[in-house]
Structure 1
Amino acid sequence: MCKKLYQLLLLAAILSVLAACGGQATPQVLEKVVTQVVEVQKEVTKVVEKQVTTVVEKEKEVVVTATPAPAGGGETIRIGGLGPLSAPGTVVGGIAMQFAMNLAVQDINEAGGVLGKPLELIFADTEGLPERGAAVARRLIQENGVVALAGEYHSAVGLAIAEVARAKHVPVLFSETWSDKITETGYPEVFRIAPASTMVSRATAEWLAAVGAKNVVIIAENTDYGIGAVEADRKFYEEAGLTVQDAIFTELGTQDYQPILTRIQAMTPPPDVISVQVTGESSYNLERQITDLGLAPNENTIGIANQVAIQPEFWESVPTGEYWVFSLVGLPPALYNDTTRHVAEEYQAAFNSEPASYVLESYDTMWILADAIKRAGTTDPDALIKAIEETDMTLAQGHYYFKYTSANPVPGDGSVPKYMWHQWPDPAVVLLQYYERGQDWKDAAVIWPPVYQTHGTSHIPYGEKP
């Protein structure tokens, strides 16, 4: 009885303590609240981790790689290289351009460098995106201290880079941006040794007129390059007596072209020509689908591929791509000089293929800039721009000079196209045609202009051999 009474009294005491300290239940509630907060904190942590990851990726995109530090270390003169090393850009082009620039820097440094210092290349990945191109150009100038910019493959990216070069007053020498708009700006900082789209369009129009084509369908990417190329094509095709039956624009990176190709299938009669003005890997995909559907090349329709058909990757994507025609900017191997052969041998050893025009252009840009710095005796931008304008040297692509400069402006009467400002006037543009499956581009027939023809014909009909 006493024992039970004691237990009851003890229980009552405990309850009274709990009642008096009603807040004591709070720790249990707080534990639940804290548990919930911790769970939320974990979720926030995950979000932050994703954000940090994105920042890290951006850092990698901004400056992808630099050339190894020159032997002996010390101060260097830095040039910023630009090109697409990641999709959706033309990766094969960016890799080739970076290789050529590194080769040129190596050769320049072996020859003694510039102004007693080694030249250093810092190459940035533009991804083929205008906003990325602008961002990496700013970073190269502001953080890496480059004295000039060079390269780039895509015209839309080049236009964005040109605005940065103008704003920062740093010269840029473009290797492979064809849009007329690149040099039409008239910016003192902007130079180009690749051809303007109009130069290529004129050559193609002259060839099509010579082979008797009448109606052309153009499939172009919806970018500054594609839009500009179509405008130039229309102008010169019409002057040559051809009709642009349709111009179809598509987004870069499109995978399925069936909807637009169905439109072409329904045309009666079929077009005499289907011309692809889509760049990079996207062009391979489009050309394969055109070939698989039997739209071109065939007995009735000529197929004109993008210039990257020169690469071995064309055959990987378009295994039945014989008879496609494509342009080559630059000289055929038979007209290589010693510098061209040097670059070609090094490129062949690294990639087991001949260099495309943008490889040779990229190599030459480094030498043009190094030569200008040497003649200027300084990296001051005004002095450097003036020295680039006065370029007079022979490299892998030929003899370089700029006819229209601050000392000889483009006439305002329209007699000279505006794109000739700081434009190399003499890039060679030839048309080649495959006629066997898996054919090396060096064995393809040079069909235009007649002075460079290798097989005595301006066109090899589908199914025939020259």
Structure 2
Amino acid sequence: MDAYDRDAAGAQQGAEPESGPVGEGPVRIGGLAPLSPPGWIEAGRHLVAGLELAVAEVNRAGGIGGRPLELVVRDTAADPQRAVAAVDELAGLGVAALVGEYHSVVARSVAARADALRLPFLCTSAVLDALTEQPTEWVARLAPPQSRGWRVFADFLVDAGHRRIAVVAQPSVYWAAGTRILREHLATRGGTLVELDADALDPAAVCDRLAEQRVTAALLLVGLPAPAVPIVRAVRRDPRLAEVVLGAPAGQPEFAEWAAALGADGAAVPFLRYLPEQLGPLGLRVAAALRERLAAAPSFVAYEGYDAIHVLAEALRTHGTERAQVAGAWPRVAVAGTRGTVRFARTPGGSVWQWPDAPIQLADRDPAGPEGFRVRYVG
């Protein structure tokens, strides 16, 4: 049992399943994040830091009608089955809503189970377009859908003069969806996509194929640290590929693990993140508080966690703490967040309530100092 499970165990004792918070006790929110392998632990830590900071602020401001907001966190470990079990447990603890999750495949399982249980779920960070199979009133999302963000990435590449682009991908629903989006959008702009199997090729073979195919950009749709780190090192040291631009749409270079493993080799690798070009006063204040909690610069995932709690708090205050009341609030809330005013709407082809104005930018680590970032493109 990890620290997060120990903290929540006391809340479970004596709890009975219920449809949502009642009485004068705390209003519970269930938090889901990857906090152990094979999950992306650093993303999970940032997400929980944002959730916890916002809960503390809500409680300092009087909570929900005088009742404290209580966050009960469960580790999904990037495992859909473990996540579904956590949803069932949290539902039994009487949480008013669920919040969080970083990994798209896990979030999809969470969304399906939450919909079946009629339990509101505010997804912070997962981007897979098909978050649920059918339209649902119970699920909302802060992060932009993958199709929107990855098309922005494709536009960035084409605008920079790249027409022959490779993806080096591992098998997964998420990577396959990203590859399809890139292929289809590049085709509309005169680009060509070459697909390489990262599991079938070692780093040296990847370099050989990139050189043979005469690509000018290669996107890494792979896990961190392996095989991302050895592939980047191999490409950087291959003189045939000196002019090839590396990219990582899923955001691996955002986190300190990337910089620690790659140093200067990890600079100038563009990635997607969901921040505005400039943070406003609220964003800057929250950035300072998150930096203190994390002892590191906060990623966009931490801001997503922070904003999500304030959205839920507004829904709980203005519409009630019963689950149906929270879900009914999705199209009615408007909350000034760290990255803009959050409002939800139905978007074409979407199955969940979506923040349509979520900011998108491409950034990379600055070659002049890999601890810093450069904004390369705003979508």
Query: What is residue 7 of structure 2 aligned with on the other side?
Result: 65
Q: Secondary structure at the match of 1:339?
A: helix
2:157, 2:9 → 1: CA distance?
Answer: 44
Query: What is residue 137 of structure 1 aligned with on the other side?
Result: 87
Alignment partner of 1:95 is 2:37: no
Measure how far apart 1:260 and its partner are: 6.3
Measure how far apart 1:365 and its partner are: 0.7
Q: Which has the higher helix share?
A: 1
Q: Secondary structure at the match of 1:191?
A: strand
- Kindly indicate whether the alpha-carbon contact (under 8 Å) linking 2:99 and 2:123 is maintained by their aligned counterparts in 1: yes
Cα 1:64/1:85, change in 2 over 3 Å: farther
- Kindly indicate whether the alpha-carbon contact (under 8 Å) linking 1:265 and 1:295 is maintained by their aligned counterparts in 2: no
Query: What is residue 217 of structure 2 aligned with on the other side?
Result: 273
For residue 266 of structure 2, what is the amino acid of its counterpart? G
Cα 1:67/1:355, change in 2 over 3 Å: farther
Measure how far apart 1:438 and its partner are: 4.9
Matches within 5 A, 1:117-132: 117-132=67-82
1:121-180 superposed Cα distances (whole Å, 9 cap, x missing partner): 0000000111111111111111x2111000000011001101110111001000110100
Query: What is residue 370 of structure 1 aligned with on the other side?
Result: 313
Measure how far apart 1:362 and its partner are: 0.5
Measure how far apart 1:246 and its partner are: 1.2
Measure how far apart 1:440 and its partner are: 2.2
2:117, 2:95 → 1: CA distance?
Answer: 11
Alignment partner of 1:380 is 2:322: yes
Query: What is residue 170 of structure 1 aligned with on the other side?
Result: 119
TM-score normalised to structure 2 length: 0.88
2:340, 2:237 → 1: CA distance?
Answer: 34
2:323, 2:165 → 1: CA distance?
Answer: 45
1:246-303 superposed Cα distances (whole Å, 9 cap, x missing partner): 15364xxxxxx8536514413524321111223xxx3333332122212689533110
Q: Structure 2 unaligned runs (5+)?
A: 12-23
Q: Secondary structure at the match of 1:388?
A: coil
For residue 107 of structure 1, what is the amino acid of its counterpart? E
Matches within 5 A, 1:320-339: 320-332=265-277, 335-339=278-282
- Kindly indicate whether the alpha-carbon contact (under 8 Å) linking 1:101 and 1:366 is maintained by their aligned counterparts in 2: yes
For residue 378 of structure 2, what is the amino acid of its counterpart? P
2:181, 2:237 → 1: CA distance?
Answer: 23
Measure how far apart 1:402 and its partner are: 1.3
Q: Secondary structure at the match of 1:173?
A: strand
Measure how far apart 1:392 and its partner are: 1.1
Query: What is residue 29 of structure 1 aligned with on the other side?
Result: none
1:189-248 superposed Cα distances (whole Å, 9 cap, x missing partner): 111001111111111111111111111211234333222212212221212221111153
**Aligned with residue 29 of structure 2, among 70, 74, 79:** 79
Taking only the aligned residue pairs, the percentage that are identical comes to 24
Q: Secondary structure at the match of 1:65?
A: helix
2:166, 2:237 → 1: CA distance?
Answer: 11
1:185, 1:360 → 2: CA distance?
Answer: 28
Q: Secondary structure at the match of 2:330?
A: helix
Alignment partner of 1:395 is 2:325: no
For residue 321 of structure 2, what is the amino acid of its counterpart? T
1:59-100 superposed Cα distances (whole Å, 9 cap, x missing partner): x5993534999xxxx710000000000000000011111111
Measure how far apart 1:331 and its partner are: 1.7
1:244, 1:394 → 2: CA distance?
Answer: 39
Measure how far apart 1:184 and its partner are: 6.1
Alignment partner of 1:430 is 2:361: yes
Higher relative contact order (CA 8 A, sep 6+): 2
- Kindly indicate whether the alpha-carbon contact (under 8 Å) linking 1:178 and 1:196 is maintained by their aligned counterparts in 2: yes
Cα 1:301/1:80, change in 2 over 3 Å: same
For residue 268 of structure 2, what is the amino acid of its counterpart? Y
Matches within 5 A, 1:61-460: 63=5, 65-66=7-8, 75-142=25-92, 144-182=93-131, 185-248=134-197, 250=199, 259=202, 262-266=205-209, 267-278=211-222, 282-294=223-235, 298-305=241-248, 306-319=250-263, 320-332=265-277, 335-376=278-319, 378-404=320-346, 416=348, 418-419=349-350, 421-436=352-367, 438-441=369-372, 444-449=373-378
For residue 97 of structure 1, what is the amino acid of its counterpart? L
Q: Structure 1 unaligned runs (5+)?
A: 1-56, 251-256, 405-409, 411-415, 451-466
TM-score normalised to structure 1 length: 0.72
2:196, 2:181 → 1: CA distance?
Answer: 12
Q: Secondary structure at the match of 2:30?
A: strand
For residue 117 of structure 1, what is the amino acid of its counterpart? R
> Whose radius of gyration is greater, 1 or 2?
1
Greater displacement, 214-223 / 173-182: 214-223
Number of equivalent positions: 362
